[in-house]
Amino acid sequence: MPHICLHEDNFYFPPVEEADEEGLLLIGGAVTPTRVLEAYAKGIFPWYNDDSLPLWWTPDPRFVLFPDELHVSRSMQKLLAKNVFTFRTNTAFEQVINACAEVERKDQDGTWITEEMKAVYVQLHQDGYAHSAETWTGDELVGGMYGIRLGKVFFGESMFSKTSNASKFAFINYVSQLKEDGVSLIDCQVHTEHVETLGARLIERKKYLQLLKELI
């Protein structure tokens, strides 16, 4: 069973091996910028709804992308060559996180990006840890993603798309940029078919944690 923390004075992250079968490790505790960074470095991330206490997860296996394994389909190669979109980073972080919270997705009811979470990640952006990758058409933001970078690891949080392939465009461009900048691992947290088509795969949590130690 996951640990429960109802008082801040008693807060600590338990060993990840104590998570339940779904990867839930801990319930409760304030979500703060410092605590989020500590969690990421330990292979843990927050994911919960407005009507829930904070939930801290560490799934096994873990869904990741190694930049060298980025897969760009022929259709995306053609799109990249057409210059339909413009790629930018960190020019509209708050717009990106708001869009990730608001844009509807198939088979998803509501959002886990609460106002509390937004405030934490905006602060992390101001502190230089959180970054946005953006797809633009002229002056319109049509897709993007955001996440946290620690050392040679980028922890992807969420992405959105207002037009076909806009999120993939941001993802492909940003992974390529991160690779050039020395990033060796992209954490995608939990499996999605969308990111799997781009080359992400599942690895054992034990291996994932070892990579974090080496790369952060």
pLDDT at 49: 80
Specify the 3-state DSSP secondary structure of 142: strand
- Dihedrals phi, psi of 174, to nearest 5 degrees: -75, -40
Count of CB atoms within 10 A of residue 190's CB? 15
pLDDT at 109: 40
Mean pLDDT in consecutive groups of 10 residues from the start of the chain, 216 residues: 85 96 95 97 91 91 98 95 95 97 58 85 98 97 98 96 96 98 96 93 98 98
Domain end call among 37, 60, 83: 60
Residue 195 sits in a domain whose CATH number is 3.40.630.70
Domain end call among 42, 60, 78: 60
CA distance 65 to 71: 10
pTM: 0.94
CA distance 204 to 155: 17
The amino acid that residue 209 corresponds to is: L
Domain end call among 17, 32, 60: 60
Specify the 3-state DSSP secondary structure of 208: helix
Domain co-membership, 121 together with 19? no
Give the chain's length: 216
pLDDT at 7: 84
- Dihedrals phi, psi of 135, to nearest 5 degrees: -110, 125
Domain co-membership, 94 together with 154? yes
Domain co-membership, 103 together with 165? yes
Q: What is the DSSP string of 150-180?
A: ETTEEEEEEEEESSTTHHHHHHHHHHHHHHH
Could you tell me which of 32, 23, 154 has the C-alpha nearest to residue 89? 154
pLDDT at 107: 41
Residue 39 sits in a domain whose CATH number is 3.30.70.3550
β-bridge pairing 3-5 and 24-28: parallel
Domain co-membership, 72 together with 52? no
Domain co-membership, 53 together with 131? no
Could you tell me which of 35, 14, 31, 32 has the C-alpha nearest to residue 23? 14
- Residue 108 is part of which domain span? 63-215
Q: What is the helix, strand, coil percentage profile of the chain, to 5?
A: 35, 25, 35
CB 202 within 8 A of CB 61: yes
pLDDT at 108: 43
Domain co-membership, 50 together with 121? no
Specify the 3-state DSSP secondary structure of 44: coil
Domain co-membership, 105 together with 175? yes
CA distance 80 to 169: 7
Domain co-membership, 68 together with 52? no
CB 180 within 8 A of CB 206: no
